[in-house]
Amino acid sequence: MTSTSPLPGLARFNALEESAARAALHEACASTTWAGHLLAARPYATAEDLYATSDAAMVHLTAADLDEAMAGHPPIGRPRPGDPASAREQRGMAGASETLRAQMLELNLAYQERFGHVFLICATGRTGEQMRDAVRERLGNPPEREREIVRAELGKINRIRLARLVGDDRDDREGRPTP
């Protein structure tokens, strides 16, 4: 008997035509270089292999690659309309007071002025207050330190998004899919 049911997530991802796989990866992370690393390593035997390849690719992203990736992220408190991923990830701001929203807007602008890019944090599981406190704290970082924090936060976000892509959405709040 032949099954017409869709392939499980990882098998489906492995079987995608390159252009479709590239588009799916672009939804997870806007870095062309990162996506190229992940495409080159297909097929993946396990989801953990996919996550490990993502982590390794993150280490090699240049400043320009990180800028490209960050350009794909909306500011905290302002998810893109019609983008369920950013709305889900920023759920901690959904019920935020007007005061907290105003604080985040002001802090986002100050951060962008200081570092030249959007404030990036793995917002999954964080409250609006936690995100506000994080941006306040990180505003004092030297640019080099902040760039490495951004790299780590982006890696967490990528893991969560990859887990959803392959149907392994049992992620924890640190961006690592649970075994």
* Mean pLDDT over the full length of the chain: 86
pTM: 0.85
Query: How many structural domains compose the chain?
Result: 2
CB proximity list for 149: less than 8 A, separation 6 or greater: 138, 141
Same domain (yes/no): 87, 135 = yes
Cα dist. 16→13, 23, 35, 75, 106 in Å?
A: 5, 10, 14, 31, 42
Residue 104 near residue 76, CB atoms below 8 Å: yes
Same domain (yes/no): 91, 133 = yes
Same domain (yes/no): 45, 98 = no
Over pLDDT 70: what percentage of the chain?
Answer: 85
Residues 51-79 have pLDDT tens digits of 999 999 999 999 999 999 999 887 777 76
Q: CA 23, CA 27: separation in Å to the nearest integer?
A: 6
